[in-house]
Amino acid sequence: MLRQLEGSQAVARAVTLCRPQVIAAYPISPQTHIVESLSDRVRTGELEACEYMMVESEFGAMSACIGASGAGVRTYTATSSQGLLFMAEALFNASGLGLPIVMTVANRAIGAPINIWNDHSDAMSMRDSGWIQLYADSNQSAVDLHVQAYRLAESLSVPVMVCMDGFILTHAFEEVDLPEQEQVDAFLPRFRPQQALDPDDPLTIGAMVGPEAFAEVKYLMHVKQMAALDEIPMIADDFREAFGRASGGLLQPYRVEGAETVVVALGSVLGTIEDVVDTMRDEGVAVGVLGITCFRPWPVDEVREALRGAQRVVVVEKAFAVGAGGIVGQNVRDAVRGSPVQVYDVVAGLGGRPITRASLRGLLDDVLADRVDPGRLYFLDLDHELVQRELERARHGERPGPHAENMLRALGTVASGAYE
């Protein structure tokens, strides 16, 4: 059924359709609307036979999901940013134990400086936590990915994170096609746990493992993630058959046929990039976009294949490894290793800075005109003047104080024109 809905409401409805039995969550913007809505649905009985746990922290939320999943029920949680980091230890534990928990990450920047707006540094920081990571590019894809995530998680007994851009998606009203309950029930079989705490068949879960088998346990985690590379496209095929629309899968190529330059990105910025690509294609420039839906496991062969014809690959990402470079970019470089393609690492949209069509167009023009050095991390729309001024000040000041406050003050001065 087509409806005009806020992204968070759409996701809450999709999760409800998946019939989780335990939800444990702790509020943090921009995840709040999702879990508030789920709390309502449990209270009104719309979501039956479900326990909603008001936990004391995100660490408690993930831990409660670990307990509930270990007891053999379908579980759900959602978080963002600081909350995801607060869960970090439990995230690795959930994946190590092979518990098929599904979690929404409403992507938000990580402080300091504290910032509630969107980027991908939260989810990217947990890329090696053993969770599968799927990135939604629209609210429709967020809805569909949640339904697919449960199927995937439970078929392999691995936890899955569905990432959706905070505010840009969670708080945006869009038309969404919500599946019917019967459709979801048919697509998503009842949860049959691979391990469960059961007095009739007592298992020890979470035993200590030393050097004699630790590597083997970890290897099996990797094997399962590799299996997900086969499973995800199959689930997407089944989904198309059942719901009549394409959604999910590993990658989302757009006009990459014959493209000499391909932009690689994740999440909601893909829409903007596609618009830019359309314009440039109309002008006869051979550009395309490769959207990454599944970032973990990393579909290295599929990415290599998708980028086969390209000469330049521009990776636009909303996070970076401080002191090293691009994160997605590194993975892309791994995929195209041995081929002569140039990979550009572009950091954009940090802390909620809009990534505009004009900026993207400017970037691509610069890349095509060889004005960007592919060997260097490139920051889109960086205020170089502001940075220089602060560096200068810090160099001379005895006790220069916090950068963030200084830069904000500098910006305020510029904006008001009241001083100087």
Number of residues that bind other proteins (CB under 8 A): 45
Under the binding rule (CB under 8 A), the answer on residue 184 touching other proteins is no
Q: For other proteins, what does the binding mask look like between residues 17 and 46, x meaning CB under 8 A?
A: ----xx-x----------------------
Of 97 and 172, the one with the shorter C-beta distance to other proteins is 97
Residue 58 C-beta: closest distance to other proteins, Å: 10
At 104, list the tokens. Answer: 């929404």
Residue 372 C-beta: closest distance to other proteins, Å: 45
Question: Measured between alpha carbons, how far is 147 from 151 in angstroms, rounded to an integer?
Answer: 7
Under the binding rule (CB under 8 A), the answer on residue 416 touching other proteins is no
Q: DSSP letters of 318-372?
A: S--BTTTB-SHHHHHHHHTTTS--EEEEEE--GGG----HHHHHHHHHHHHTT-S
Residue 158 C-beta: closest distance to other proteins, Å: 16
- The answer to whether residues 364 and 287 touch, using CB atoms and an 8 Å cutoff, is yes
Among 199, 284, 323, 340, binds other proteins (CB under 8 A): 199
Under the binding rule (CB under 8 A), the answer on residue 130 touching other proteins is no
Of 99 and 143, the one with the shorter C-beta distance to other proteins is 99
Of 52 and 243, the one with the shorter C-beta distance to other proteins is 52
Among 182, 190, 212, 282, binds other proteins (CB under 8 A): 212
Exposed, middle or buried by CB within 10 Å (0-12, 13-18, 19+), for 369? exposed
136-175 b/e (C-beta count within 10 Å ≥ 16 → b)? bbbbbbbbbbbbbbbbbbbbbebbbbbbbbbbbbbbbeee
**Category of 350 on φ-ψ map: left (φ > 0), alpha (ψ -120 to 50) or beta:** beta
Among 27, 36, 71, 116, binds other proteins (CB under 8 A): 71
Among 57, 181, 279, 339, binds other proteins (CB under 8 A): 57
**H or E stretch including 160?**
strand 160-165
Under the binding rule (CB under 8 A), the answer on residue 220 touching other proteins is no
Under the binding rule (CB under 8 A), the answer on residue 417 touching other proteins is no
Under the binding rule (CB under 8 A), the answer on residue 67 touching other proteins is yes
Closest CA to 99 of 83, 76, 128: 76
Question: Measured between alpha carbons, how far is 293 from 239 in angstroms, rounded to an integer?
Answer: 15
Question: Measured between alpha carbons, how far is 299 from 217 in angstroms, rounded to an integer?
Answer: 22
Of 49 and 246, the one with the shorter C-beta distance to other proteins is 49
Which residue ranges make up the site for other proteins (CB under 8 A)?
21-22, 24, 49-51, 53-57, 59-61, 63-73, 75, 89-90, 93, 97, 197-199, 201-210, 212-213
